[in-house]
Amino acid sequence: MFRFANPDYLYLLIAIPILLAAFFLAMRLRKNALKRFGNLDTISVLMPEASTSRPWIKASILSLVVFSLIVAMARPQLGAKLKEVKRKGVELVIALDVSNSMLAQDIKPNRLECAKQAISRMVDKLSDDRIGLIVFAGDAYVQVPVTSDYVSAKMFLNTINPGIVPVQGTAIGKAIELGSNSFSSQSGKSRVMVIITDGENHEDDPVAVAKAAAEKGIVIHTIGVGSPQGAPIPVSPDGNSFLTNSDGKIVVSKLDENTLMGIAAATGGRYTLATNSNFGLNDVFSDIRKMDKKNFKSVAYSEYDDKFQYFLWFALILLITEYFILERKNRWQEKLEIFKARLK
């Protein structure tokens, strides 16, 4: 397994394009300054040793040096030893509604983005638990299988949008059924689902499916995203155009609290209405902490080997190479015929 021990240093990589842009600007200013003295073709005859390519070659090499040093500071590592790790926690499956109605903006910036931000904060609080992620609209799909890899879970969470599900609609029952089958055999009764949706179910009977899940020892918490009054569904990036029906009237997506309350009640879970100030996952997380924990076994890397040395050696070789490349042409290098660029 590959990782960076100090990944925050990678933010310094943004300095490389900035430095190259500054160098490009300096070269343009230099060229404009030469134009003041006359035609560049004439000036090139008076400056036979001048080169336009060598400064760019040196700048490119120095950029690679900076890149290598930054990566070295981030300390790239490779997993060297696997061992079995025992954790005590619960298995949590989050089912997130990604239907178009989740783009409504009665919660800012919209229902879906607010939900993703809240889930991300919740994942940060997990330690020994296992988490899975399901997305659903007209059908349900596993986005992240149940895992202890929180980094991957957050990475896939960031990619979620309504376009990843080909069938639109809201099939909460299918999400519950898929979630029920996603738990591992190790989890026993330490199983919990969190369904985040506006509750406008159009496809099935989610309360009946929830009762079947309760028989497997699964507790389902539901979070209603939106408002009972409803909000229009944007269909343009600027949010100024809205979805209309066949009569040309704007479609208003309303929160169906009764369905979500029924799902939670059928499994002994909690229903929470999400707001801009309190999404509700903190309350759900408190309930999860009170559940019986189960021992889980997993395989993880316990030791890592540093590989930053290779990047330091690469940077050193590049620096030596850059040192021997002169900005101007010279007779010795002309004989080697390494650089043949001419000023145009």
Same domain, 123 and 223: yes
Q: What separation, in Å, do the N-terminal and C-terminal C-alpha atoms of the chain show?
A: 50
Q: Which of 197, 216, 189, 70 is nearest to 134 (CA)?
A: 197
Tokens for 125?
A: 């609080």
pLDDT digits (tens, 9 = 90+) for 157-168: 989 999 898 888
Check which CATH number belongs to the domain holding 154 and give it.
3.40.50.410
Based on the domain organization, do 194 and 323 belong to the same domain? no
What is the span of the domain harbouring residue 37?
Answer: 2-78+305-336
Check whether residue 139 and residue 203 sit in a common domain: yes
Answer yes or no: are the C-beta atoms of 180 and 216 closer than 8 Å.
yes
Residues in the chain: 344
- 144 and 281 belong to one structural domain: yes
Q: What is the tally of structural domains in the chain?
A: 2
Helices (H), the chain: 15-35, 40-46, 53-73, 111-125, 150-158, 172-180, 206-214, 257-267, 281-289, 308-324, 331-336
Instruction: Specify if 44 maps to a domain.
Output: yes
Q: Which amino acid is at 329?
A: K
Is the same domain home to 71 and 95? no
What b/e sequence results for 132-146 when a residue is b if at least 16 CB atoms lie within 10 Å of its CB, and e otherwise? bbbbbbebbbebbbb
pLDDT in tens, the chain (344 residues): 677 888 889 999 999 999 999 999 988 887 777 677 666 666 565 555 666 778 888 899 999 999 999 999 999 988 666 666 677 788 999 999 999 889 999 888 899 999 999 999 999 988 888 899 999 998 999 999 998 888 888 989 989 999 898 888 888 999 999 999 999 876 666 899 999 998 777 677 899 999 999 999 999 999 999 888 889 988 877 767 888 887 888 988 889 899 999 999 999 999 999 988 889 888 888 888 888 776 666 655 556 788 899 999 999 999 999 888 876 655 555 554 544 544 44
3-state secondary structure of 145: strand
Within a domain: 300: no
In a domain, 344, yes or no: no
